[in-house]
Structure 1
Amino acid sequence: MAKCIRALRNADVKGGFVFGKDVSLLETNVYKPRNPVGDLGGKPPSQRSILAFFAGSMHGYVRPILLKHWENKDPDMKIFGRLPTSKGNRNYIQYMKTNKYCIRAKGYEVNSPRVVEAITYECVPVIISDNFVPPFFEVLNWESFVDFVLERDIPNLKSILRSIPETRYLELQMGVKKVQHFLWHPKPVKYDMFHMILHSVWYNRLYQITPFN
């Protein structure tokens, strides 16, 4: 294990992730295996009137803090625990399709499928997960389509998001649309998730053979 390239869903710096050797994976829920991108897209930016959305089970220490500060506290912050079950997960998906920012707060692990879900529905991801190593960081500028917020700044989350200029939000939202190519497909297509993972493995193998200066 010390010598192999590990492809890790939970790419946690404190959990032993090794830069230059290990590969970070994007965690994904595939709801429709025959057509994973059939529900791609969402409302245009001009029709996304709600600032932020989160819903999920309460595990780990970050999510309870998020709900303590923001659940039912502000109409611009749609922050919930687990949503009631609906056919096809429609309630959850509709929130993602109609909100500006989708919060990805870590649970037991630093990673979660919410980043891919937000990209799928064109909602700008907000990652609250210290020590998380973003997948494909070797080639992708994550700050062009994601906003990162430190765990300690959860009490200031609304003011942080409100302080982002509209021009910056539109750039992030456009960035989200640009990276929609790295989703899963029934058969791999160029630059999709399958090929990006292979590229990360190849890149790290090359790094081990010939370290870059």
Structure 2
Amino acid sequence: MVDQLVAFLLRQPEWIKSDGKDHIIVAHHPKSLLYVRKKLGLARFVLADFGRYGAKTANSDKDVIAPYQHVVNSISTNNSSPFEQRPPLAYFQGAIYRKDVRGAIRQELFYLLKDEKDVHFTFGSAQRSGVRQASRGMGTSRFCLNIAGDTPLSNCLFDAIVNHCVPVIISDNIELPYEDVLDYSEL
């Protein structure tokens, strides 16, 4: 179906007129239109990150990185413990074993940190009570680890921010949403 959609789009006079340069394609999920994006590369994309694309397909000169929607519940400032009173030093709950090569860092960090005092590093998912556990864990920890997995960035960054947990980004080649106007060091 995706191939048919792309073939249809590439035949349209509006596309042909500009070779797609004046089109905007929302492909926010990291796997959206993944294997056909090269064919659409001159269009402007709204993406979650640049992690899976070459510079000719996706780049900061023409595309927009929009933040992931955060998953865990936000805590209010009134319910947030002061930084110094948060007992866990670092928090990570998520998929430890990832398909992509970038995910290997999660495994290495798990083996290094799993037995450390004041570090919560465990497998977790959005299934069952995983979101509630992550909300509680992030909301009571000082630092939240945002570790590259299948892509350089994940929604854990935004989950940490809304829970007043200092995000620690462990990732290469990261392009943060709206970083040209937001000073992430101030968060």
Instruction: Give the TM-score taking structure 1 as reference length.
Output: 0.58
Match of 1:89 in 2: 131
Alpha-carbon contact 1:106-1:129 (below 8 Å) kept: yes
2:104 counterpart of 1:61: yes
SS in 1 for 2:185: helix
Alpha-carbon contact 1:13-1:132 (below 8 Å) kept: no
Alpha-carbon contact 1:101-1:124 (below 8 Å) kept: yes
SS in 2 for 1:79: strand
Match of 1:46 in 2: 84
CA gap of 1:101–1:15, structure 2 versus 1, over 3 A, is farther
In 2, the alpha carbon distance for the partners of 1:81 and 1:144 equals: 30
In 1, the alpha carbon distance for the partners of 2:64 and 2:126 equals: 35
Higher helix fraction (1 or 2)? 1
SS in 2 for 1:61: helix
Give, as a single letter, the amino acid of the residue that structure 2 aligns with 1:122: H
Match of 1:12 in 2: 51
Give, as a single letter, the amino acid of the residue that structure 1 aligns with 2:106: R
SS in 2 for 1:117: helix
Kindly, what percent of the aligned residue pairs are identical? 27
Match of 2:149 in 1: 107
Unaligned 5+ runs, structure 1: 146-213
Give, as a single letter, the amino acid of the residue that structure 1 aligns with 2:122: F
In 2, the alpha carbon distance for the partners of 1:129 and 1:103 equals: 10
Equivalence map 1:1-213=2 (5 Å): 1-12=40-51, 15-16=54-55, 17-30=58-71, 39-41=75-77, 42-57=80-95, 58-59=97-98, 60-72=103-115, 74-82=116-124, 87=129, 89-145=131-187
Give, as a single letter, the amino acid of the residue that structure 1 aligns with 2:81: K
User: How far 1:91 moved relative to its partner?
Assistant: 1.9
Relative contact order: is structure 1 or structure 2 higher (C-alpha 8 Å, sep ≥ 6)?
1
Unaligned 5+ runs, structure 2: 1-39
SS in 2 for 1:67: helix
Q: How many residues in Structure 1 have an aligned counterpart in Structure 2?
A: 139
User: How far 1:78 moved relative to its partner?
Assistant: 1.5
SS in 1 for 2:144: strand
CA gap of 1:30–1:70, structure 2 versus 1, over 3 A, is closer
SS in 2 for 1:55: strand
Mean Cα deviation higher: 121-130 or 74-83:
74-83
Give, as a single letter, the amino acid of the residue that structure 1 aligns with 2:84: S
SS in 1 for 2:81: coil
User: How far 1:134 moved relative to its partner?
Assistant: 0.6
Greater Rg over alpha carbons, structure: 2
User: Per-residue CA shift, 1:56-92, capped at 9, x if unaligned?
Assistant: 11212221111021112x1122111227965473222
Instruction: Give the TM-score taking structure 2 as reference length.
Output: 0.65
SS in 2 for 1:80: strand
Alpha-carbon contact 2:88-2:118 (below 8 Å) kept: yes
In 2, the alpha carbon distance for the partners of 1:43 and 1:134 equals: 27
What is the root-mean-square deviation of aligned Cα atoms in Å?
2.5
